[in-house]
Amino acid sequence: MTDCYAVIGNPIEHSKSPEIHRRFAAATGEAMTYRRLWAPHEHFRAVAEAFCCGGGHGLNVTVPFKEEAYAFADRLSERAAAAGAVNTLRFDSDGQRFGDNTDGVGLLRDLQDNLGITIAGRRVLVLGAGGAARGVLPALLAADPAALFLANRTAARAEALAERFGTLHPCPLSAIPERGFELIVNTTAAGLQGENLELPDDVLAPGGTAYDLVYADTETPFIRWARTHGATTTSDGLGMLVEQAAEAFFVWRGVRPPTAPVIAALRRGEA
C-alpha cells in the first residue's frame, strides 16, 4: 500500500513541495503519494484531522498554519519546541501526532553546506519575526554568530521573540541601530508581492551575504537591493525549501534523499 502525505496551507496552489517530494520518492524508491491540501483559515484542525483519520501518514505545514500545527501535535521534537512552530507532522501508528520543525536545519544546510557561508563569529541581522523567523532563529543562534539582531516592522513581535530566545537584539525595521552586518537573512513576506524593504544603505558590510527565504522565478526585491549594496554572495530560499523538505522526508521515511539534483532541476524551471 502507498503511504499518503500532503502539504497544507492557504494559499497552496503555487507550492513546489509536491514536485520536490515526487523527485525524492523517485530517487529513493519510497512508495508514497504527496499532494496539496488547502484549508480555510479557521479550519486547519478539521482539515488536518480528516487527512490523518483518512489514513494520511504526514503533513508539511506552511503559511499561515505553523503555530496551529504546533498546538495540534501531541509530541514535539526539541527544535519544534524551541521554535514554537511546526512545519512537519508525522502521524504515528500508536495514534500520536509528532510535530517537528525542519526550517532551521534547512536554512543552515543551504547556507553552510551548499553556499559555503560561515555563521560562527559573524554579525548577523534577521529581518522579520513571523513563523519562519521562529523556525530559523534557534538554528542560527546554535551556529554561534558574534551577534544576532532581529528587526521587524512590528517591533513588539521582535521583542517577544527576543524574550523567548534570549541572546537576540530586537529592534524596529525602521530603526536598525547598527551597520555593517556580514550576513542578512530576510524572513519577511515583503518580497512575495514585490515590495521593497526600506533598509539603510550601509546595513550590509561590503562583501557580505544576503539570503532571502522568499524564492521566485525572477530576482526578489531584497536580493536586487543586496546586489546593488555590496553583497558578494546572494541567494533566494529555493535551496532552503528543498533542504527543509529533505529533512521532513527523513523524519517520515528514515531515508535521506539527494538534494543537489532537485535544487538544480527546480533552478532550471523543471517543476
Could you say whether residue 190 binds ligand NAP (CB under 6 A)?
A: yes
Q: Rounded to an integer, what distance in angstroms lies between the CA atom of residue 39 and that of residue 100?
A: 20
DSSP for 91-145?
A: E-TTS-EEEE--HHHHHHIIIIIIS----TT-EEEEE--SHHHHHHHHHHHHT--
Alpha helices in 143-205 (DSSP H): 155-165
> Which secondary structure element, helix H or strand E, spans residue 1, and what is its range?
none
Q: Rounded to an integer, what distance in angstroms lies between the CA atom of residue 246 and that of residue 21?
A: 8
Q: Encode 36-55 in three state secondary structure.
A: EEECCHHHHHHHHHHHHHCC
Q: Encode 69-82 in three state secondary structure.
A: HHHHCCEECHHHHH
Could you say whether residue 221 binds ligand NAP (CB under 6 A)?
A: no
- Which span (138-146, 164-172, 176-184, 192-200) binds ligand NAP, by CB under 6 A? 192-200
Could you say whether residue 141 binds ligand NAP (CB under 6 A)?
A: no
Which residue among 88, 152, 209, 259 contacts ligand NAP (CB under 6 A)? Answer: 152
CB of 43 to ligand NAP, least distance (A): 18
Indicate the residue whose CB is closest to ligand NAP: 130
Could you say whether residue 18 binds ligand NAP (CB under 6 A)?
A: no
For residues 26 to 65, the per-residue mask of contacts with ligand NAP, x marking binding by CB under 6 A and - elsewhere, is: -------------------------------------xx-
Could you say whether residue 214 binds ligand NAP (CB under 6 A)?
A: yes
> Which secondary structure element, helix H or strand E, spans residue 8, and what is its range?
strand 3-9
Q: Rounded to an integer, what distance in angstroms lies between the CA atom of residue 205 and that of residue 183?
A: 8
Which residue among 178, 195, 201, 270 contacts ligand NAP (CB under 6 A)? Answer: 195
Could you say whether residue 160 binds ligand NAP (CB under 6 A)?
A: no
Could you say whether residue 157 binds ligand NAP (CB under 6 A)?
A: yes
- Which span (43-51, 161-169, 238-246, 260-268) binds ligand NAP, by CB under 6 A? 238-246
Q: Is 66 a catalytic residue?
A: yes
Q: Which residues bind ligand NAP (CB under 6 A)?
A: 63-64, 103, 106, 128-133, 152-154, 157, 173, 187-190, 192, 195, 197, 213-215, 237, 240-241, 244
Active site residues per annotation = 66
